[in-house]
């Protein structure tokens, strides 16, 4: 039974990934800052819940009290706002949770990495293209992809892999924030705002968290042994 860690495992993509790996027979640990969402995610499953702020070196180090075969750095987030209006506090907070959190998670995983381990970062299409509306988030996710590619080279001879999944707008709280922002700024109704967000995807829809979970299962499977340092996009052709 493979030991699987999912950070940010209490909501959205993290919750879908945790459920998918548990359904596949993994021994799943989910980590997050709030107990209630973790407990809700674990309901009906034999999962371990751990309180952890991925921006805290102490928290992340304590999380790795044993090695994990699959480590999924999912915790992240960020608000909208063009660069000229971005405060240093918001910039630092966005880089901390998205980039530093992934760094701390992967660094801790490398201290006792099992053979053929799988490290997976949940990045974004923002790792691969610019976005004037979310410059801090875009910069952080570009950094995540650079980190993934560097770690991939570092661990390649151990038959371990490190990859990134880069979804477009996904049906999570982050998309909901973007939709609510459009509704408030432009006096749109929900359907119009949702359609505006979804139009970046040529399929005209939001990605489902379960699609990201299935991609993670694939990257952790024996069939993906040769995939290393890759950015797997789920965006309907946006990238």
List the catalytic residues. Answer: 137
Q: Which residues make Cβ contacts (< 8 Å) with residue 45, sequence separation at least 6?
A: 18, 19, 22, 28
Strand-pairing partners, residue 122, are 165
Rounded Cα gap, residues 73 and 63, in angstroms: 13
State phi, psi for 29 to the nearest 5 degrees: -115, 130
3-state secondary structure of 166: strand
Rounded Cα gap, residues 176 and 159, in angstroms: 39
Rounded Cα gap, residues 75 and 94, in angstroms: 11
Q: Alpha helix locations (H) across 96-134?
A: 101-110
Residue 238 Cα to chain centre, angstroms: 18
């Amino acid at each position: 039974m493979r030991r699987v860690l999912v950070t940010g495992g209490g909501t959205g993509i993290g919750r879908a990934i945790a459920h998918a790996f548990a359904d596949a027979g993994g021994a799943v640990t989910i980590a997050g800052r709030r107990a209630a969402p973790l407990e809700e995610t674990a309901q009906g499953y034999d999962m371990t819940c751990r309180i952890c702020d991925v921006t805290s070196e102490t928290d992340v180090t304590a999380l790795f009290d044993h090695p994990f075969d699959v480590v999924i750095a999912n915790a992240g987030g960020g608000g909208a706002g063009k660069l000229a209006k971005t405060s240093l506090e918001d910039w630092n907070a966005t880089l901390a949770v998205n980039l530093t959190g992934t760094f701390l998670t992967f660094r801790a995983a490398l201290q006792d990495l099992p053979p053929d381990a799988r490290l997976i970062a949940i990045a974004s299409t923002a790792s691969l293209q610019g976005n004037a509306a979310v410059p801090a988030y875009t910069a952080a996710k570009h950094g995540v992809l650079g980190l993934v590619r560097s770690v991939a080279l570092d661990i390649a001879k151990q038959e371990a892999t490190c990859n990134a999944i880069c979804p477009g707008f996904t049906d999570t709280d982050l998309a909901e924030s973007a939709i609510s922002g459009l509704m408030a700024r432009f006096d749109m109704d929900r359907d119009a705002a949702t359609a505006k967000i979804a139009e970046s995807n040529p399929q005209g829809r939001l990605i489902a968290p379960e699609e990201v979970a299935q991609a993670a299962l694939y990257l952790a499977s024996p069939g993906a042994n040769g995939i290393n340092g890759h950015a797997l996009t789920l965006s309907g052709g946006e990238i």
